[in-house]
Amino acid sequence: DLIIQVALKIWGRIIVEADEKVAKVRNIKVDNRLEGPWDTTEKIAAFGFDFCYWSVDPEDPKYASQEVVFQDLGTSVLSGAFKGYNICLFAYGQTGSGKTYTMMGTPASIGLTPRICETTFYLLFFSFLEIYNERVRDLLKQSNQKKPYTLRVREHPETGPYVQGEIEVPEIQPFNRTRSLLYFHKFELKNFDLFFLQAILENNLPSEIASKINLVDLAGSERADPSYCKDRITEGANINKSLVTLGIVISTLAQNSQMFSSCQSINSITNEGDNHASSHSPGSVSGTRRQAYIPYRDSILTWLLKDSLGGNSKTIMIATISPASSSYNETMSTLRYASNAKNIINKPRVNEDANVKLIRELREEIDRLKTMLMSFELRNSSPSWSDDKDGNLTELVLQNEMKVGIFY
Ligand SMILES: Nc1ncnc2c1ncn2[C@@H]1O[C@H](COP(=O)(O)OP(=O)(O)OP(=O)(O)O)[C@@H](O)[C@H]1O
């Protein structure tokens, strides 16, 4: 999902309009010059998104409050996590355009993260990390040392990149105690992870699903410009690196996704005149075009967001913009960035424990075989044939029951 939030800070004229799903920007470059009948340049640039919010003036009838934003986005984050999907929600936009306001809010007007945390009773663990200067710090770790406590990022072959040794606080209660901490820290890149684990017994069949909510507040998007504070200290350069790499990752993923969907439509056209199933692998036309390499590992931010950006996650990007003419260039760049991100196609799946899933499937199979066995016994019209089948089915039921036993 792509969301545009138009916030405060107005210097100059208002040049942005937000309809329900369209953000329109008046082109000040055209505005400022004399037009003739030959001038065909677009005066308004329009960008379509899943939601567009206007939060400039609280008196305005179309003003979107924190509650409205939570009802649209927060609830879909929670329902996705309860279904077992990994969810990532990240805020991108110019400095001062309202990223932190949207993600965290203020004590008087709380934002998405505290609302999401306070709404759930199923929350089991949460962790709070800061990525700064290409280092990961645990914001829940009490450190008396002068040197900040840094953590390493590693990659699990199945669950993807993770931070080794991060503190995961159990249950919802400590969240309330830590809430003040969330408001007092103002860092460049913040990442808030919530882990859900649900054990369900439905029709006597067990199922266990785990999901993760990843809430990310990025640094100001002007730093995504490679020339921004080029010769300054390492700190600035590293924040640049994160956002520049994020930009490259997003545009490469978008290109790959577009290539994938165009391949699919080419394949379906080819298949219309051809009854044989296509053997093309996804992302290749006649096996010749290859997906471009995605440089996730070029920055800690993109490495940690690997799954959220191009893998097993439902991802929501919130792009925040200022409505003022003075921010024209940054606003257009944010909207183009967001439009590009819209082309990325992820493949989220429900995260179910493999052993528990197997047990459930075996039990389903046992039930199915038992039902078949019963119907054979009831019919029993041809004893010799039925005895044979009966024996096979009983054998299958026993085998499956033994397999289920191994997992207990
Ligand atoms: N929709 C809004 N309604 C009321 N105040 C807002 C809104 N959006 C932003 N603000 C206020 O504007 C100021 C800047 O917003 P905020 O800190 O969220 O920007 P940011 O995009 O996170 O900036 P940075 O990149 O520097 O972290 C804050 O004082 C914030 O409370």
ipTM of the complex: 0.97
Look at residue 362 in the predicted model and tell me its pLDDT: 82
pLDDT at 278: 37
| Residues 310 and 401 placed together within one structural domain of the fold | no
Q: What local confidence, expressed as pLDDT, does residue 320 receive? A: 93
Residues 347 and 365 in one domain: no
pTM of the predicted model over 0.90 = no
**308 is annotated as contributing to ligand binding:** no
Q: Is residue 287 part of a domain?
A: no
**CA of 36 relative to ligand 1 center, distance in Å:** 40
Instruction: Tell me what percent of the chain is helix, strand and coil, each rounded to the nearest 5.
Output: 40, 25, 35
7 lines ligand 1 (CB under 6 A): yes
> What is residue 237's predicted lDDT score, i.e. its pLDDT?
58
Point out the domain boundary residue: 330, 351, 372: 351
Residue 134 shares a structural domain with residue 203: yes
Q: Please indicate, yes or no, whether residues 332 and 361 belong to a single structural domain of this protein.
A: no
The CATH number linked to 217 is 3.40.850.10
Asked if residue 181 lies in contact with residue 190, where contact means CB atoms within 8 angstroms, the answer is no
Residues 6+ apart with CB under 8 A from 310: 249, 253, 256, 294, 296, 344, 346
Same domain, 85 and 45: yes
The residue range of the domain holding 210 is 2-258+301-351
Using CA atoms, how far apart are residues 181 and 168, in angstroms rounded to an integer?
15
- The protein residue with its alpha carbon nearest to ligand 1, atom 26, reads 95
| Closest atom of ligand 1 relative to the 55 alpha carbon | 1
Tokens of 352: 């179910």
Ligand 1: does its nearest atom lie under 6 Å from the Cβ of 101? yes
State how far the Cα of 277 lies from the Cα of 281, in Å rounded to an integer: 12
pLDDT tens by residue, 337-353: 888 888 777 777 777 76
Residue ranges in the chain whose pLDDT is less than 50: 8-9, 171-188, 231, 273-288, 408
The answer as to whether 310 is a domain residue is yes
Are residues 99 and 248 located together in one domain of the fold? yes
Ligand 1 atom with least separation from CA of 106? 31
Rounded to the nearest 5°, which phi and psi values hold at 134?
Answer: 60, 25
My answer on whether 175 and 95 are in the same domain is: yes
Q: What CA–CA distances, in Å, run from 18 to 107, 186, 235, 340, 373?
A: 27, 28, 35, 19, 63
Helix axes 173-184, 112-119, angle to 10 degrees: 180
Q: Which pLDDT belongs to residue 125?
A: 63
Residue-wise pLDDT tens digits, 89-142? 888 899 888 998 998 888 888 888 888 877 765 555 667 777 777 778 777 666
How many distinct structural domains can be found in the chain? 2
Q: What is the pLDDT of residue 191?
A: 57
Domain presence at residue 273: no
- Looking at residue 142, what is its pLDDT? 61
In a domain, 271, yes or no: no
Q: Could you tell me the distance, in angstroms and rounded to a whole number, from the CA of residue 8 to the centre of ligand 1?
A: 7
115 and 228 both lie in a single domain:
yes
Q: What are the tokens at 171?
A: 């249950």
Same domain, 101 and 144: yes
Q: Read out DSSP for 59-93? A: TSTTB--HHHHIIIIIHHHHHHHHHT--EEEEEEE
